[in-house]
Chain A
Amino acid sequence: MAPTAPTAAKSASPSQPSGKSEVADLKQQLRQLAGSRAPDADDQRRDVFKRVISCMTAGIDVSAAFGEMVLCSATSDVVLKKMCYLYVGVHARNHPDLALLTINFLQRDCHDQDPTIRGLALRSLCSLRVPNLVEYLVSPLATGLKDPSAYVRMIAAVGAAKLYHISATACLDADLPAALKALMLSDPDAQVFGLLVCWPTAGSLFKSVIGGQVVANCMHALQEIWTLEAAKSEEAAREIETLYSKPVVFYLLNRIKEFSEWAQCLVLELVSNFLPSDNNEIFDIMNLLEDRLQHANGAVVLATIKVFLHLTMSMTDVHQQVYERIKAPLLTLVGAGSPEQSYSVLCHLHLLVMRAPMLFSSDYKSFYCQFSDPSYVKKLKLEMLTAIANESNTYEIVTELCEYAGNVDVPIARESIRAVGKIALQQYDVNAIVDRLLQFLEMDKEYVTAETLVLVKDLLRKYPQWSHDCIAVVGNISSKNIQEPKGKAALIWMLGEYSQDMHDAPYILESLVENWEEEHSPEVRLHLLTAVMKCFFKRPPETQMALGATLTAGLSDTHQDVHDRALFYYRLLQYDPAVAERVVNPPKQAVSVFADTQSSEIKDRIFDEFNSLSVVYQKPSYMFTDKEHRGPFEYSEDLTNLAVGAETTENTISAQRYQESDNDLLLSTSDKEDNATATSNGSSASTYNAPSDLSGPSLLSSQIPSETSLINPGAPTYSSQSNFSLDDLLGLGVPQASAPPPAPALTLNSKPVLDPGTFQKKWGQLALSLSQECSLSPQGAALLMNPQSLIRHMQNNYIQCIASGGQPPNYKFFFYAQKDGATAFFLVECIVNTASAKAQIKVKADDGTAAEAFSTLFQSALSKFGLS
């Protein structure tokens, strides 16, 4: 049990005492020692201090001794000093007045001869976190940043960030960020290692490590300060971009080997946000970092991989090569470290495997579970085996998985069976797998049977042609042997669905109904209701009795859903049995693909956040972090390296306005047709994305006016449509594809004005509304020899380009457009690959609700490129 109360931790060892009397005793002893000049006074103080800190660690409130601790702190003994500073740092916030007492000797120590003491004092001074002591901080910090000792500068750099958190204005007024920046780019000790030949002496090596840490801490501090400032000032937003600028990035990259491994990670993270101007730069960076893939520290390797993956995003061939290259180092890392370290690496491997299963399909043996793997590792490995199974390796993988099914580790056995089922669902040749699954049923272990039944059910939904083989085996299973609700429900579903093929289905169901009272799971009872209904329509005479009993039992059921469903069936049968049959037993089509649980947009987001917790949780960061705690790199898409669109539009001339809005109307009607075709295809319609819903309160408030203005004109047109969908919900034979209602019509302002700076800021602030892939006409793709042609075409559709770049076959554009008569802007990132005639678009909108409509409009404009 966890010691919830501090007293629970007491007397664990003689050094861990507890209780109020203890604190009083300590106070007493401290008071006696305060003025003592006895030769062994320091030793005695050490002992008492130790006990105080021991109490503090155990969670006992020792703040009452604050005054006495401070009194004892005037000492030259470093160990004592450190203990005292630790104590003061923890408790100063609650005793701001008493904390003032420590300022004096801390300030004095800041001028000590010994750099170790200076550093120590400065660190403690900045850790007090007392707002009204800020005035005492600024000058020691400013001095500290210029201290001759790198150790002190290193501490001062972090101190600046600490100060910012206590008082932002004090930090900015003292111009500390500028000092940090200067230090970062020209720290004297950091320069030392630039001159070192390949064999550094121990001393210089040491010096350079500390020097490197000065630079790294400046980076940390600047990132933190500017990221938080960027929300308030544009200047800070610009400053943050200078961190990702070519001079800074190359300066750091050239020295990367002299940084500590932790600082290397920081530099690499920074580089992954850098947008090189041409391919040569990309290759230079990759060549320079190549050997980082052989680093023993997994964090360095993963950070390097992130750089490689992000740099080569637009170069498909090289991107593939990167995958090939990183495979071996990642697999080595999996084997090298502790299970915890392998877990994190495996999570990243999993992400890559999901993106490129083919690439890893020959390495399937690396993902076999080892006996000693902890269950969290085994689970991941099973998922990977599932993902990489293809024609060539399925036999081996399934054989291995079948071994795990009998495993003593029950959760893993279950997962393995599920994995076999998943593989069966994604393969075309399921023959052999079905046999194996059916063999599981013969193992006669309850959990194995239950898991397998669920899978057989899913398999049958996808491959109805297997029903005969499966039903033969399933029919032999006694429902009494299955207790788990999921497995039981699956069995009952099969009994209902295939009652015409299973000889004794009505009787099995009947016996289940007889035990209605003992069935605890509502899920099973619901399935039982439906199964009996299905069976009734297939074999009425044999089931009639059971149906009556079922409906009676269902109607008196205490569970609301069960009761309601029973009543619904009852009324439906009363109304017209023919209709009831259409509802319960409609002709079914095989399920071709089971719904993916995660949208591709979310997957892309996670990939963008490679080497972060997002990969472990398989969730993008906005789902598990507060806005204020988002990392420094969160909103850092960068436009600086793209050429600003050559043809910037002139300012609007209002005289042309009327005519143009007529054109808008015309355009919007033709778009409506496009809308209709697009949605009936169904494929692109599913992306009403979570991010736009979750993007945070700050967005919502600003978009309310535009939202209403947008919806009103469109609303009447679609009212009939919504009636349809209501009918459809009842399932009464309206043979309509489940098309979502088309998005409201949208007209665009013909001459919107947005300057690049604002664009960039908006792009940084807005959440992604949607991201889609769409295609260009082949003619259009052929025509796209330079960005200008497309820019002109889009301009005719009132979509303006703000920046473009790239080499054939890949182009990148940033477009924007504005809703007519409103202030809301749409921002688009569009990456076109002319070789495949495909385009990736990412839309961000001030008004998230209109993003879908805009995207449709945008795609239609794009698809017409080259056709006129």
Chain B
Amino acid sequence: MISQFFVLSQRGDHIVFRDYRGEVPKGSAEIFFRKVKFWNDDEAEEAPPVFNVDGVNYIHVKVAGLFFVVTTMVNVSPSLLLELLQRIARVTKDYLGVLNEDSLRKNFILVYELLDEVIDFGYPQTTSTEVLKSYIFNEPIMVDAGRLPPLGPAAMFMQGTKRMPGTAVTKSVVATEPGGKKREEIFVDIIERISVTFSSSGYILTSEIDGTIQMKSYLTGNPEIRLALNEDLSIGRTGSSSYDYRSSSGGGAVILDDCNFHESVHLDSFDIDRTLHLIPPDGEFAVMNYRITQEFKPPFRVTALIEEAGPSRAEVLLKIRADFSANVTANTIVVQMPVPSYTMRASFELEAGAIVGGSEHTLRAKLTFSQESHGNLTKEAGPVNMNFTIPMYNTSKLQFSVIQD
């Protein structure tokens, strides 16, 4: 049972505030904001998404730099509330096209309207954009997406290149287009988050892929869609018998450790032909999430070398080799490497932005320290973290084709 729902800006302003049960004392939003801002102040830690102050439970998620918060007095399922908050954010995004402080402020009446249908007396009702359409009467006021930096996990989805113009995916699911005609479109994308740990000798210590097949549908009339995945896809590694998976990975088959599916997916023929049947509901959703720990070839090899170059100087050599074919290009690459806290100055030279497959890039940086280092530089610098987008490429070799009847 949810007592209140509110959205706060980064500065703590109320953007929407809805009390469903009138049981939480006044000032809860301020209490929440102060708690989050000054959580364990001296250690600069982030507040956990769930905490209790004076008997009131505060559950929040951060989306697009905003706090989506619910309060409750009872012992409910935290996952339910966190999922619900994410879903509210997504439904709002479906309606507004772009989710940020500006769009929310412009459309707060619409958001109130949504909230009335999504939660009643603290009980979750429906979060399906499809169903909600019949009960929502406000028209979204669109904001310009272009100048706003995309935020949050769904941001990747918006950054796409040629194939997926930014404006297309940031348009509202419900709003009528200026021309009056609605384009029948559906966007399907595979997004994979790769975690790989290399040893200093370049050997892979751990590797894991968390992947999602994202869909955003603008289709009218709810036609049935079939998504055919790799035919040799198999699910579930048989326990710890490593023989088993080594032999099959040699064949290039994709082996998922595990996966889960969206409500609308029917798996009737999945075991036979690896096809997902679904009637995509309006808006954005994850068709399938999967996890792979099978060995794979990481798209990049990163080697970092840090060497002392005098008593209070060091040199960093960062090498990045792109291990994918030359006809794809990686962009929006961010490489981060923490340096010792007593570093005063860093100067570096960098080669060009985008990385073409097969190429190798080097970054040299000179560090100047305020004190003498203790000969333990490797422990105090790093690890190197890299964010990138490679359109039309995925590490797991998971593929799909969309078939529409």
| Residues on A facing B (Cβ under 8 Å) | 1-4, 9, 12-13, 15-16, 50, 53-54, 57-59, 78-79, 82-83, 86, 90, 93, 116, 123, 127, 129, 151, 154-155, 158, 161-162, 165, 198-199, 202, 205-206, 209-210, 213, 216-217, 220, 224, 260-262, 265, 269, 291, 293-299, 301-303, 328-329, 331-333, 335-341, 343-345, 347-348, 362, 365-366, 368, 370-372, 374-376, 403, 405-406, 408, 410-411, 443-444, 609, 611-617, 621, 624-626, 629-631, 634
* Stretch with Cβ within 8 A of A (4 or more), from B182-190, B205-213, B313-321: B205-213
* Stretch with Cβ within 8 A of A (4 or more), from B41-49, B171-179, B299-307: B41-49
B30 contacts which of A3, A78, A209, A220 (Cβ < 8 Å)?
Answer: A3
Q: Within the complex, what minimum Cβ distance (angstroms) separates A758 from chain B?
A: 27
Residues of A within 8 A of B78 (CB): 344, 347, 612-613, 615-616
CA distance A90 to B22 in the complex (A): 9
A370 contacts which of B34, B195, B266 (Cβ < 8 Å)?
Answer: B195
Q: Is B147 an interface residue (CB 8 A)?
A: no
Q: Within the complex, what minimum Cβ distance (angstroms) separates B398 from chain A?
A: 14
| Residues on B facing A (Cβ under 8 Å) | 1, 9, 11-17, 19, 21-22, 30, 33-34, 37, 40, 43-50, 52, 55, 57, 60-63, 73-80, 82-86, 105-106, 108-109, 112-113, 116, 120-121, 123-128, 130-131, 134-135, 137-138, 152-153, 193, 195, 197, 206, 208, 210, 212, 221-222, 224, 236, 240, 257-263, 266-268, 279, 286, 288-291, 293, 338, 341, 374, 376, 379-380, 383, 385
Q: Is the CB of A331 within 8 A of B338?
A: no
Asked whether A12 and B75 contact (CB < 8 A) given A2-B30, A79-B138, A154-B125, the answer is: no
Q: Is the CB of A58 within 8 A of B14?
A: yes
- Pull 6 A–B residue pairs with CB atoms less than 8 Å apart, ordered by A: A296-B262, A296-B288, A298-B79, A406-B376, A410-B43, A443-B376
**Best-buried of B75, B84, B206, B259 by chain A (most CB within 10 Å):** B75
Q: Is the CB of A613 within 8 A of B83?
A: no
CA distance A406 to B241 in the complex (A): 35
Q: Is the CB of B131 within 8 A of A78?
A: no
Q: Within the complex, what minimum Cβ distance (angstroms) separates A467 from chain B?
A: 27
Residues of B within 8 A of A333 (CB): 260, 289
Nearest B residue (CB) for A116: B135
CA distance A366 to B61 in the complex (A): 23
CA distance A615 to B77 in the complex (A): 9
Q: Within the complex, what minimum Cβ distance (angstroms) separates A68 from chain B?
A: 18
CA distance A149 to B80 in the complex (A): 28
Residues of A within 8 A of B40 (CB): 411
Q: Is the CB of A3 within 8 A of B383?
A: no
A15 contacts which of B105, B125, B259, B341 (Cβ < 8 Å)?
Answer: B105
Nearest A residue (CB) for B121: A158
Residues of A within 8 A of B52 (CB): 613, 617, 624
Residues of B within 8 A of A4 (CB): 30
Extra inter-chain contacts (16) besides given A262-B123, A328-B257, A365-B293, CB under 8 Å? A2-B34, A57-B16, A86-B116, A210-B131, A294-B260, A295-B260, A297-B83, A299-B84, A301-B260, A333-B260, A338-B63, A341-B79, A344-B79, A376-B47, A612-B77, A630-B75
CA distance A345 to B260 in the complex (A): 15
Q: Is the CB of B75 within 8 A of A376?
A: no
Q: Within the complex, what minimum Cβ distance (angstroms) separates A452 from chain B?
A: 14
Q: Within the complex, what minimum Cβ distance (angstroms) separates A252 from chain B?
A: 16
Q: Is the CB of B126 within 8 A of A375?
A: no
Nearest B residue (CB) for A264: B263
A443 contacts which of B9, B57, B258, B379 (Cβ < 8 Å)?
Answer: B379
CA distance A265 to B125 in the complex (A): 12
Nearest A residue (CB) for B206: A365
Decide if the interface of chain B is mainly helix, strand, loop or mixed: mixed
Asked whether A1 and B12 contact (CB < 8 A) given A15-B105, A79-B109, A406-B379, the answer is: yes
Residues of B within 8 A of A79 (CB): 109, 113, 137-138
Decide if the interface of chain A is mainly helix, strand, loop or mixed: helix
Residues of A within 8 A of B379 (CB): 405-406, 443
B193 contacts which of A154, A293, A335, A408 (Cβ < 8 Å)?
Answer: A335
Q: Within the complex, what minimum Cβ distance (angstroms) separates B85 from chain A?
A: 8
Q: Is the CB of B60 within 8 A of A82?
A: no
B82 contacts which of A15, A344, A371 (Cβ < 8 Å)?
Answer: A344
Q: Is the CB of B128 within 8 A of A260?
A: yes
**Best-buried of A3, A57, A295 by chain B (most CB within 10 Å):** A57
CA distance A206 to B263 in the complex (A): 13
Q: Is the CB of A158 within 8 A of B109?
A: no
Q: Is the CB of A362 within 8 A of B12?
A: no
Q: Is the CB of A261 within 8 A of B263?
A: yes
8 A-B pairs with the lowest CB-CB distances in the bound complex, closest first: A335-B210, A406-B379, A328-B258, A340-B49, A299-B80, A336-B289, A262-B124, A202-B222
Residues of B within 8 A of A291 (CB): 267
B75 contacts which of A220, A296, A631 (Cβ < 8 Å)?
Answer: A631
Q: Within the complex, what minimum Cβ distance (angstroms) separates B196 from chain A?
A: 11
Q: Is the CB of A611 within 8 A of B77?
A: yes
Residues of A within 8 A of B126 (CB): 209-210, 213, 260, 262
**Best-buried of A269, A335, A347, A375 by chain B (most CB within 10 Å):** A335
Residues of B within 8 A of A53 (CB): 108-109, 112
CA distance A408 to B342 in the complex (A): 11
CA distance A53 to B15 in the complex (A): 11
Q: Within the complex, what minimum Cβ distance (angstroms) separates A160 from chain B?
A: 10
CA distance A341 to B81 in the complex (A): 9
Q: Within the complex, what minimum Cβ distance (angstroms) separates A469 from chain B?
A: 22
Asked whether A444 and B374 contact (CB < 8 A) given A162-B121, A629-B74, the answer is: yes
Asked whether A116 and B125 contact (CB < 8 A) given A344-B50, A411-B43, A613-B78, the answer is: no
Q: Is the CB of A332 within 8 A of B13?
A: no
Residues of B within 8 A of A609 (CB): 75
Q: Within the complex, what minimum Cβ distance (angstroms) separates B147 from chain A?
A: 17
Q: Within the complex, what minimum Cβ distance (angstroms) separates A90 from chain B?
A: 7
CA distance A64 to B197 in the complex (A): 62
CA distance A332 to B236 in the complex (A): 12
Q: Is the CB of A86 within 8 A of B75?
A: no
CA distance A370 to B55 in the complex (A): 33
Q: Within the complex, what minimum Cβ distance (angstroms) separates A658 from chain B?
A: 50
B206 contacts which of A16, A368, A621, A625 (Cβ < 8 Å)?
Answer: A368
Residues of B within 8 A of A216 (CB): 123
Residues of A within 8 A of B208 (CB): 335, 365-366
CA distance A331 to B37 in the complex (A): 30
CA distance A291 to B267 in the complex (A): 10
Q: Is the CB of A58 within 8 A of B13?
A: yes
Q: Is the CB of A9 within 8 A of B13?
A: yes
Residues of B within 8 A of A154 (CB): 125
Residues of A within 8 A of B261 (CB): 294-296
A626 contacts which of B33, B55, B268 (Cβ < 8 Å)?
Answer: B55
Nearest B residue (CB) for A306: B77
Q: Is the CB of A613 within 8 A of B48?
A: no
Q: Is the CB of B76 within 8 A of A2?
A: no
CA distance A405 to B379 in the complex (A): 8
Residues of A within 8 A of B279 (CB): 202, 205
CA distance A476 to B279 in the complex (A): 70
A340 contacts which of B33, B60, B338 (Cβ < 8 Å)?
Answer: B60
Asked whether A50 and B109 contact (CB < 8 A) given A58-B14, A265-B77, the answer is: yes
Q: Within the complex, what minimum Cβ distance (angstroms) separates A82 from chain B?
A: 6
Q: Within the complex, what minimum Cβ distance (angstroms) separates B284 from chain A?
A: 13
Residues of B within 8 A of A50 (CB): 109
CA distance A265 to B79 in the complex (A): 10
Nearest B residue (CB) for A609: B75
Residues of B within 8 A of A298 (CB): 79, 82-83
Nearest A residue (CB) for B48: A376
Q: Is the CB of B266 within 8 A of A198?
A: yes
Q: Is the CB of B260 within 8 A of A340?
A: no
CA distance A57 to B108 in the complex (A): 10
Nearest B residue (CB) for A336: B289
Q: Is the CB of B12 within 8 A of A86?
A: no
Q: Is the CB of A332 within 8 A of B76?
A: no
CA distance A335 to B286 in the complex (A): 13
